[in-house]
């Protein structure tokens, strides 16, 4: 991974490069920022640059033996830690390394937790960085480096670190082995123990700027219809993961739209049996997909509010979604939208905490039927 492969983030790239040129590489850095901003690719490009044998003032060479190994994620001095699931004989990151490398190769590092869980087929479980992982980190970093100046440990989604593991790592952060670099990555710095944050130097990324997004779309997918590109840029809000989802015509949004449209129709008509059947379908989805569906429902509520306040011209969607939301003012009203929003937000929260999806879906269905009936009577 080279800095030239990173979408946007020019200021951050220049700052990281300068730390190497000035020989002021902080041994523990916390890379934080919104989803889809390229935190993991930045860490990979930084690691590549640090150990490149022929780096320039702007990037690694990309062709020396070190760069080639970094590109394939097989460099012996590059180590990864990430959330895992205890599954038969698998528990720590090393056990999932083939799957991790394959996802990195497929995505260039632009993926999130949901993508990772889907890749290892554990959507219904929540990953953790276990205490045993900390022991492996200590063991790994106490060995001498194989061929590079720096041993680099990338810990992805450090907020998933098990509480019991933290004390074992604090001493490493305070007194790291010589020429060791920790690159910690997070989207939720508020969830990280203050004792860990205080021992790191923070590197903040921003949402990707529109010009860089547009250039990357052209480079990766060629010339696209300008209206479609504008819609995608508006919907993605600086998140490259969302751009990829839309451009690859992921089935989720269409499937979620059809489910949402049917669900709201059943609730509006008071069709309990039909809602119950849809609830069964919903319960068969993986947990991450269930959370994503309620996230989609919240997006529909946002569009519904924009429709009421400014008209459909201000809604950042087109086609069937726009047509549906603009015609549903009967039950998506100024009074009902906040109630729907609260229900969907609570649903996301409860799904995260292993609520029974069937019961949860039906509970919202019955509440929605009551809410829509009251709205019609006004």
Q: What is the mean pLDDT of residues 201-230?
A: 83
Banded model confidence at residue 31, pLDDT cuts 50, 70, 90: very high
- Apex CA 326: angle with CA 321 and CA 327, to 5°? 105
In this predicted structure, what is the pLDDT of residue 378?
Answer: 59
Alpha-carbon distance 197 to 173, whole Å?
10
In this predicted structure, what is the pLDDT of residue 279?
Answer: 93
Alpha-carbon distance 65 to 188, whole Å?
35
Both tokens of residue 349?
Answer: 């929260």
Both tokens of residue 61?
Answer: 């060479």
Q: What is the mean pLDDT of residues 166-175?
A: 84
> Over the stretch 233-291, which tens digit does the pLDDT of each residue have?
887 889 998 887 777 654 567 788 899 999 999 999 999 999 999 999 999 888 888 98
With beta carbons less than 8 A apart as the criterion, state whether 228 and 313 touch: no
Residue holding tokens 């929260």?
349
> Structure pTM?
0.68
Choice between 29 and 374, residue whose per-residue pLDDT is larger: 29
Q: Which residues of 70-104 are buried (b: 16+ CB within 10 A; e: fewer)?
A: bbebebebbbbbbbbbeeeeebbbebbeeebeebb
Q: How many residues does the chain have?
A: 378
Neighbour tally for 149: CB within 10 Å: 13
Both tokens of residue 85?
Answer: 């699931």
> Over the stretch 119-161, which tens digit does the pLDDT of each residue have?
988 866 788 898 899 889 988 888 887 888 889 999 999 999 8
**How many helices (H) and strands (E) would you count in the chain?**
17, 5
Q: What is the mean pLDDT of residues 155-184?
A: 87
Q: For the chain, what is the largest distance between any 2 Cα atoms, rounded to a whole number of angstroms? A: 75
Alpha-carbon distance 226 to 33, whole Å?
28
Res 13 pLDDT > 90: yes
With beta carbons less than 8 A apart as the criterion, state whether 36 and 112 touch: yes
In this predicted structure, what is the pLDDT of residue 151?
Answer: 92
Strands (E), the chain: 28-32, 78-81, 151-156, 180-186, 201-204
Chain centroid to Cα 291, Å, comes to: 13
Alpha-carbon distance 287 to 279, whole Å?
14
Alpha-carbon distance 193 to 1, whole Å?
30
> Over the stretch 59-77, which tens digit does the pLDDT of each residue have?
999 999 999 999 999 999 9
Asked which of 35-44, 91-100, 310-319 is least confident by mean pLDDT, the reply is: 310-319
Q: Which residues contact 375 (CB under 8 A, 6 or more apart)?
A: 330, 331, 333, 335, 336
In this predicted structure, what is the pLDDT of residue 263?
Answer: 94
């Amino acid at each position: 991974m080279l800095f030239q492969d990173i979408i946007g983030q020019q200021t951050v790239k220049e700052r990281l490069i300068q730390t190497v040129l000035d020989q002021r590489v902080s041994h523990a850095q916390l890379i934080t920022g919104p989803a889809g901003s390229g935190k993991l690719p930045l860490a990979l490009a930084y690691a590549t640059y640090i150990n490149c044998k022929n780096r320039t003032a702007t990037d690694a060479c990309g062709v020396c033996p070190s760069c080639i190994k970094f590109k394939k994620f097989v460099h012996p001095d590059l180590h990864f830690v990430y959330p895992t699931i205890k599954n038969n004989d698998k528990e720590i990151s090393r056990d999932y390394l083939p799957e991790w490398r394959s996802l990195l190769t497929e995505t260039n590092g632009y993926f999130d937790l949901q993508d990772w869980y889907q890749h290892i087929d554990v959507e219904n479980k929540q990953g953790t960085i276990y205490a045993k992982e900390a022991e492996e980190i200590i063991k790994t970093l106490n060995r001498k480096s194989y061929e590079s100046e720096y041993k680099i440990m990338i810990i992805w989604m450090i907020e998933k670190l098990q509480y019991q593991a933290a004390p074992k790592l604090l001493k490493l952060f305070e007194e790291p082995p010589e020429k060791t670099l920790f690159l910690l990555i997070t989207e939720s710095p508020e969830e990280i123990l203050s004792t860990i944050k205080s021992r790191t130097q923070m590197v903040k990324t921003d949402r990707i700027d529109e010009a860089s997004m547009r250039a990357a779309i052209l480079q990766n997918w060629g010339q696209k219809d300008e209206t479609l590109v504008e819609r995608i840029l508006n919907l993605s809000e600086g998140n490259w993961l969302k751009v990829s989802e839309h451009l690859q015509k992921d089935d989720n949004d269409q499937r979620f739209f059809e489910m949402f449209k049917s669900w709201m129709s059943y609730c509006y008509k008071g069709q309990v049996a039909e809602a119950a059947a849809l609830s069964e379908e919903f319960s068969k989805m993986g947990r991450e997909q269930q959370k994503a569906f309620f996230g989609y429902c919240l997006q529909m509520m946002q569009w519904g509010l924009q429709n009421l306040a400014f008209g459909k011209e201000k809604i950042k969607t087109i086609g069937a979604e726009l047509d549906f939301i603009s015609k549903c003012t009967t039950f998506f009203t100024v009074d009902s939208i906040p109630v729907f929003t609260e229900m969907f937000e609570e649903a996301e929260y409860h799904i995260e905490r292993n609520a029974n999806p069937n019961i949860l879906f039906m509970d919202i269905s019955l509440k929605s039927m009551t809410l829509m009936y009251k709205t019609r009577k006004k």
